[in-house]
Chains A and B, each alone.
Chain A
Amino acid sequence: MTRLLALAGVLAAVAAVPFSGRDYYATLMLPFFAYSVALLGLNLLFGTTGLLSFGHALFVAVGGYTAAFLASALQIRSLEAMLLAAVTVAAIVALPVGWLCVRYVKIYFGMLTLAFGMLFYSFLYKFYALTGGDEGIPIGRPSLLGRGFGELDKTTYLIGPYYYYSLALAVVATLVMWRIVRSPLGLSLRAIRENADKAEYVGVRVRRYRFYAFVLAAVFGAAGGVLLVVPTGLAAPPLAYWTHSGNLVFMLLLGGFGHFFGPALGAFVFIFLQDQVMSVTEYWRFVFGAVLAAVVIFLPHGLMGVLTRRADA
């Protein structure tokens, strides 16, 4: 009950941000929604199944590029169509990639996902006709549920209708993932994480379910990718670069991958911390490196670990 109240409180606060008059902070919430969705997928793989992917940005990029391609090449404006296309393409890409990757575990899995991510990054650079090369593909303002909102200027659109659309999508994605984690598959995946050998002997199809987790993760990654490119108006190669995957892993560790809401908290803190530190020093990566080291050493359960320990005490 306390938890539900806390969640409702957080949701109300998030919904109130556009009314605070601080438009800038409202725009910073948009990548937070996008990353929250993408990280639900990454954490299904890592937190639930025990497979750490260093190539999740591949699927974020697949999502972003699919949306931008639809907008630019096919003149499709509907965000729902973009989302549907993005998750479909991501699932199709994840079939062969996942099929290969889940044959390996631990560092081999991590490196293989990293390699596929970089392969896609190179593809984005080289296939200019399809991807726009280093310039990427611009994406205009998509329509939301059939409405174009042409009368609004860009910021009003983003912190108005788009803000609530993103928030709603993040909430829906979270509910769906909540259900997945608590499904029979979710339990089987946790059993695989805990002891894959034993899981097999109690009838769990380890490799098949790891594959399911991989494809589901890709789908959430791509949905997050669509939300991510709309505010910036561009799908560009850095989306798929390995440091982007690294950032996603950082967010997981920062928030705490052992907690369902840890990744979202990690995304939130990451985005606002990055914003603050970047405005102070150009050496923000240095600061972030130090923060990451400190988190790993002092907060192995992430910020959520600190919060929930306080709450339990």
Chain B
Amino acid sequence: MTPLLEARDVVKRYGDVQALQGVTLSVREGEFVSIIGPNGAGKTTLVNVLTGLLRPTSGRVTFRGQDVAGVGPVRLAELGMARSFQLVSVFPALTVAETLAVPALARLGRAGRFFASLSRDAAVAERVAEMAGLFGLADKLERPARTLAQGDKKLLDVASAFALRPEVILMDEPTSGVSTRDKTLIMETLVQAAKRLGVKAIVQVEHDMDIVFGYSDRIVALHQGRVLADAVPEVIRADDEVVATVLGKPR
């Protein structure tokens, strides 16, 4: 099967620094792929290149065969890719319902209509209700985002990316900044949501190895801008080099 998202020989240089030194990677339909590696391995740079935010110095990134180099976030969403960031990002004064309506409108191609009634838009209301239900925010629809607890903010942040109805979603540490108890809840929620919404693949950067090994179909270990290993969790766990450089301790 042809991969959904593919990076081939991607090099990214910042001046003298080579953040990525020829990374090749593919994400196929139905996969949950985790990118791991020590700090400075190039994980975030790789996600930025994969999502078209950064142009690779050389090499190619394609989504469904289309070049995504430097496409910009709006076009990316139109192509069918969504992304969330490490730091929780919300619209502080907007309510949960309003926050989820923004991507729903964008997806329906109605975000620029200036003389239509938003409150009477049934299609948007339906999508908002669906998202809120999937992410456990249904009882908080009228709450401004800034008043939510940190875990709920994170869920809302991820939910707004899912509300774009992407085929592939890339998440930079989806569970960073939340309590250990909330981590599992967030992962369960988003895996379930992905299934229900028909998201075809998930790519995440993650530090928490319990989550990485608990959820991934495949793990890509980066080290100094290169792919050290790209395999199923069992193989990664048995790889002494990966264990030594990435995991830092024998498991």
Residue positions of A touching B, CB distance < 8 A:
179-180, 182-188, 190-191, 194-195, 197-205, 208-209, 212, 216
C-alpha gap A182/B113 in the complex (Å):
10
Q: Tell me whether A203 and B78 are in contact (CB under 8 A).
A: yes
Q: Tell me whether B114 and A191 are in contact (CB under 8 A).
A: no
Q: Tell me whether A185 and B114 are in contact (CB under 8 A).
A: yes
Query: Smallest CB–CB gap between A62 and chain B, Å?
Result: 21
Residue B220 lies at the interface, judged by CB distance under 8 Å to chain A: no
Q: Tell me whether A184 and B116 are in contact (CB under 8 A).
A: yes
A-B contact count (CB 8 A): 107
A-B contacts, 14 listed (Cβ < 8 Å) = A183-B113, A184-B111, A184-B118, A184-B124, A185-B112, A186-B118, A187-B98, A187-B118, A190-B91, A200-B74, A201-B77, A202-B163, A205-B112, A208-B112
Q: Tell me whether B74 and A204 are in contact (CB under 8 A).
A: yes
C-alpha gap A89/B84 in the complex (Å):
42
C-alpha gap A182/B102 in the complex (Å):
13
Q: Which residue of B lies closest to A179 (CB)?
A: B115
Q: Which residue of B lies closest to A201 (CB)?
A: B73
Of A183, A186, A190, A204, most B-chain CB atoms within 10 Å: A183
Given contacts A188-B111, A200-B74, contact A183 B117 (CB under 8 A): yes
Residue B89 lies at the interface, judged by CB distance under 8 Å to chain A: yes
Q: Tell me whether B119 and A203 are in contact (CB under 8 A).
A: no
Residue B101 lies at the interface, judged by CB distance under 8 Å to chain A: yes
Query: Smallest CB–CB gap between A209 and chain B, Å?
Result: 6
- CB contact list, B89-138 vs A, under 8 A: 89-94, 98-99, 101-103, 105-107, 110-119, 121, 124
| CB-contact partner of B90 in A188, A198, A205, under 8 A | A198
Leading 8 A-B pairs by shortest Cβ distance:
A203-B106, A194-B91, A202-B103, A185-B114, A203-B77, A200-B73, A198-B89, A184-B113
Q: Tell me whether A180 and B103 are in contact (CB under 8 A).
A: no
Query: Smallest CB–CB gap between B88 and chain A, Å?
Result: 10
Q: Tell me whether B77 and A195 are in contact (CB under 8 A).
A: no
Q: Tell me whether B74 and A216 are in contact (CB under 8 A).
A: no
**Inside 8 A of A198's CB, which chain B residues have their CB?**
89-91, 157, 160
Of B72, B78, B85, B113, most A-chain CB atoms within 10 Å: B113
Q: Tell me whether B82 and A201 are in contact (CB under 8 A).
A: yes
| CB-contact partner of B102 in A179, A183, A197, A202, under 8 A | A202
Query: Smallest CB–CB gap between A164 and chain B, Å?
Result: 26
**Inside 8 A of A186's CB, which chain B residues have their CB?**
114, 118
Q: Which residue of B lies closest to A185 (CB)?
A: B114
- CB contact list, B42-71 vs A, under 8 A: none
Q: Can you add 11 more A-B contacts, CB < 8 Å, to A184-B124, A187-B105, A209-B112?
A: A185-B112, A187-B101, A187-B102, A188-B106, A191-B94, A191-B99, A197-B89, A198-B89, A203-B107, A208-B112, A216-B114
C-alpha gap A183/B118 in the complex (Å):
5
Residue B186 lies at the interface, judged by CB distance under 8 Å to chain A: no
**Inside 8 A of A208's CB, which chain B residues have their CB?**
112
Query: Smallest CB–CB gap between A203 and chain B, Å?
Result: 3
Residue B199 lies at the interface, judged by CB distance under 8 Å to chain A: no
Query: Smallest CB–CB gap between A257 and chain B, Å?
Result: 13
Q: Tell me whether B89 and A203 are in contact (CB under 8 A).
A: no
**Inside 8 A of A212's CB, which chain B residues have their CB?**
112, 114
Q: Tell me whether B83 and A199 are in contact (CB under 8 A).
A: no
C-alpha gap A194/B112 in the complex (Å):
17
**Inside 8 A of B92's CB, which chain A residues have their CB?**
194-195
Residue B19 lies at the interface, judged by CB distance under 8 Å to chain A: no
**Inside 8 A of B110's CB, which chain A residues have their CB?**
184
Residue B23 lies at the interface, judged by CB distance under 8 Å to chain A: no
C-alpha gap A191/B104 in the complex (Å):
13
C-alpha gap A120/B121 in the complex (Å):
42
Given contacts A179-B117, A180-B114, A200-B74, contact A195 B91 (CB under 8 A): yes
| CB-contact partner of B103 in A197, A203, A205, A216, under 8 A | A203
Query: Smallest CB–CB gap between B171 and chain A, Å?
Result: 12
Q: Tell me whether B105 and A188 are in contact (CB under 8 A).
A: yes
Q: Tell me whether A183 and B115 are in contact (CB under 8 A).
A: yes
Residue B161 lies at the interface, judged by CB distance under 8 Å to chain A: yes
Residue B190 lies at the interface, judged by CB distance under 8 Å to chain A: no
C-alpha gap A133/B74 in the complex (Å):
47
Query: Smallest CB–CB gap between A182 and chain B, Å?
Result: 6
Q: Tell me whether A185 and B89 are in contact (CB under 8 A).
A: no
C-alpha gap A216/B73 in the complex (Å):
25
**Inside 8 A of B113's CB, which chain A residues have their CB?**
183-185
Of B103, B106, B107, most A-chain CB atoms within 10 Å: B106
